Amino acid sequence: MENKESLQPAVDKLKELVNVGDVCMFTTLASDSKITTRPMTTAGIDEEANLWFFTNEFSETIHEVSGDSLVHLMYANPSKNKYVHVRGNCIVVINREKMRHCGRLLWLPGFRTALTIRSYAS
């Protein structure tokens, strides 16, 4: 496992490219091999470059990432000619404290489950 110092340039670059509040197209693969993409708001980016999202615990997103954790996130800002593709493994986290910390401005009733994406280079 890489140490925190060696990851810091990648963490800084991700935080430069993706901001809390940015909307991405969050893509998953269902068990029937159907690709599903939906817009999701980035709720947080932590010091280890994990991206955090919120969704309802009974959503299709939760069902899909429970079967196949690989996800793709596509961000676009055409006015700045900035396009970002993040590929990573998603895990479902039910941690109320983390959700309160990440989602202060993004808290929505009914969205009680957090997803975290550990990104890696394609």
Per-residue pLDDT tens digits of the chain, which is 122 residues long: 456 677 788 888 888 889 888 999 999 988 888 999 999 988 888 888 888 888 877 888 888 888 888 999 999 999 999 999 999 888 888 766 766 666 544 444 444 556 666 655 43
Q: For 46-83, give one letter per residue: b (16+ CB within 10 A) or e.
A: eeebbbbbbbeeeeebbebbeeebebbbebeeeeeeee
Q: How many residues does the chain have?
A: 122
For residue 109, CA distances in Å to 43, 54, 113 come to 14, 11, 11
pTM for the whole structure:
0.77
Among candidates 73, 69, 64, 79, which has minimal Cα distance to 45? 73
Pick the CATH number of 4-120 from 3.40.920.10, 2.30.110.10, 3.20.80.10, 3.30.70.3270: 2.30.110.10
